[in-house]
Amino acid sequence: MTPLAHYLIFSGILFSIGLAGVIIRKNIIVVFMCLEMMLSAANISLVAFSRAQGVNGIPMYDAQVLALFIVAIAAAEVAIGLALIVAMFRARKSVESSALNTLKD
Amino acid sequence: MDTTLSSYTWCQFAPEFALVAVAVIILLADSFLPQIPKRIYALVGAAGAFVITCLMARGEYANWFGFLACAATTLTLLLAYDYRKITCESIAGSENEDGTAEFYALPLIACAGICCLGQAKDLVMLFVSLEVITLSSYVLAGYFRRNQGSIEAGVKYLILGAMSTGLLVFGAAWYFGTTGSFDLDPLMAHTALSHGYLSTGFLMATALLLAGALFKVGAAPMHMWIPDVYQGAPTPTSNFLAIASKAAGFAALCLLLRPFRPFAEAYPGTVSILVHSLSIVAAATLLIGNLGAIGQHNAKRLLGYSSIGQAGFILIFFVNLGGDIEPYVFNYLLAYALATAAAFFAIAMLRTQRGSEEISAFRGLGKTNPRTAFLITVSFASLAGVPLTMGFLAKYYSFCALIQAMGSWNGLLWLLPVMIVCAAAGFYYYFKVLRAMYWEKPLESDKPLRVPAVTAAVLTACSIVIILMGTYPLLFS
């Protein structure tokens, strides 16, 4: 059986890639995909922990319940996010983060 | 194995169901009864939220943060009612009210999220209720789709907010991994703290969870979104974010720090790393908020920086981790909420009648509308912390909390000069508004403002409470 650490390292790498993408990438759609990657990383950790904490082969379902909630909320977030990005494209004719420049000190 | 879901009863969420019911009724009426003018929905929502506010004040459903959130929602919807002219222009491009009803329903849904957050006992509930708040807030921030600023505020809030969600859930996963449960209970921290120090995994979980909550309150270094979003978002939304959403952030922070408080009281040494990290965050928040506000010209942006600065003063209560936190945080938030709501009502009135949100739009109000100018003066004086206002007492308690914390942990003395400098800076930038009102002459073309009845009532009520609570703080305790 694959040890817990492998899952955790994998999810840590996925999370770091997501976070780095959010910070580095300029295209809002790509940034948004990276945000979803961060949530998926958390889901992988949750399911791995739920297996590892289980007794007698029965996982602790608490963590899987949270994972389901995360999936549902991520879907809602995508619906709102894409709507906002479409509105932004209509207003600015661009989805680059450099187009977000009207509000500043 | 005890499941976390069973520790809640359906009945305890009755006020939240009522709030959502009002929101759903508004949405259904919007679809099926198009002849009703949409501005009625703002008043219906405000009335509903006000009833729930009274319900939450004491008795079976007593819930401090919920009370604050419902009061803030009432104020937001009243503000949205007075702001409807701009709302219609920014959505349909005319006097037409089509498509504005959701703007009055969403604050109620977000408010239900905050009330749930006030009752949460575990991370699942905390996460879901925080998301209910943020998802509604994204829509509210980007609601004015004909307004460049609003769209930009919406997208910025979405990206940064979703990032903080990512941090929060990754923290939650590790909290579960290191303690074996989502319960925010001192017992859980006990397992992690049993060696007399915090294990690395648990420390990382705590740091990520706190980062998620600190984003909501706008603490440094997660404060970037606040000035931009407050400036760009519709004024009622800015008001909602500044009061209700901030209260939600502090409710989450209280919850997340609850497992550590018995340790902070009994063995201060075990959690000193947490206290010192919080003190650095508080100091950075104070400095960024108060010094950043000095150069601002836009009144909404000024209030954004001011809200960061005020959050810094509230974070000081959390530095005193072993002491009493909730009552003082609630008191400070109430003082801040009353004064900030009054300021946003004034800004909305100026935007509607003078077409500007700059500080210079306050020019000459002392001559043209002396009574309104006095009420605005009271609220800004309270934000700055002038004695005999509620804001002064709130700031005073914040200093007391720091002095108490210095008794338990070494190396916090440096925070005191930071707080003094920041409190002094507050006087400068809040009084810029007062200077514009009393020292600048009104332009030839400036007519006296017509103060709408709702705005007048809210400004008067806020001022009365600010002064009463400032002169006789035991009145409502």
Residues 127-146 of B with CB under 8 A from A: 127-128, 131, 135, 138-139, 142, 145
Give CA–CA dist B299/B362, Å, rounded.
9
Mean pLDDT of A76-84: 95
Report the share of chain B in percent with pLDDT over 90: 77
Q: What is the mean pLDDT of chain B?
A: 92
User: Phi and psi dihedrals of B440, rounded to 5?
Assistant: -95, 140
Query: pLDDT by residue (tens digit) across B107-136?
Result: 999 999 999 999 999 999 999 999 999 999
Query: How far A81 CA sits from the closest chain B CA (Å)?
Result: 7
Asked whether residue A77 is assigned to any structural domain, the reply reads yes
Flag if A65 and B131 touch (Cβ within 8 Å). Answer: no
Residues 225-284 of B with CB under 8 A from A: 227-228, 231-232
Six-digit token string for A44: 């992988």
pLDDT at B195: 63
Asked whether residue A102 is assigned to any structural domain, the reply reads no
Of B288, B294, B239, B286, the residue nearest B431 (C-alpha):
B294
pLDDT at B263: 83
Residues of A in contact with B202 (CB under 8 A): none
Is the pLDDT reported for residue B313 higher than 70? Answer: yes
Query: Above 0.85 for ipTM, yes or no?
Result: yes
Residues of B in contact with A104 (CB under 8 A): 228
Burial class (CB in 10 A: 0-12, 13-18, 19+), B223: buried
Q: Which residues of B241-274 are buried (b: 16+ CB within 10 A; e: fewer)?
A: bbbbbbbbbbbbbbbbbbbbbbbbeeebebbbeb
A95 near B CB under 8 A: no
Asked whether residue A101 is assigned to any structural domain, the reply reads no
Give CA–CA dist B419/B404, Å, rounded.
15
Q: Looking at residue A48, which CATH number applies to its domain?
A: 1.10.287.3510
The length of chain A in residues reads 105
- pTM for the model: 0.95
The structural domain count of chain A equals 1
Query: pLDDT by residue (tens digit) across B152-195?
Result: 999 999 999 999 999 999 999 999 998 888 988 887 777 766 66
User: Phi and psi dihedrals of B354, rounded to 5?
Assistant: -110, -5
Q: For an interface test with B, give the residue of A23, A27, A84, A97 to mutate (most B CBs within 10 A).
A: A84
Report the share of chain B in percent with pLDDT over 70: 96
pLDDT at B477: 57
Q: Tell me the CA distances in angstroms from B204 to A21, A40, A63, B177, B196, one per residue in order.
A: 21, 18, 18, 11, 17
Give CA–CA dist B312/B421, Å, rounded.
13
- Residue numbers of the domain that contains A40: 4-94
Burial class (CB in 10 A: 0-12, 13-18, 19+), B437: buried
pLDDT at B1: 41
Query: pLDDT by residue (tens digit) across B296-306?
Result: 999 999 999 99
Is the pLDDT reported for residue B2 higher than 60? Answer: no
- A-chain residue closest to B178, CA distance: A49
Flag if B128 and A104 touch (Cβ within 8 Å). Answer: no
pLDDT at B192: 67
Mean pLDDT of B87-97: 85
pLDDT at A1: 75
Residues of B in contact with A8 (CB under 8 A): 177
Six-digit token string for B187: 């017992």
pLDDT at B60: 83
Is the pLDDT reported for residue B368 higher than 80? Answer: yes
Flag if B228 and A41 touch (Cβ within 8 Å). Answer: no
Query: pLDDT by residue (tens digit) across B329-347?
Result: 999 999 999 999 999 999 9
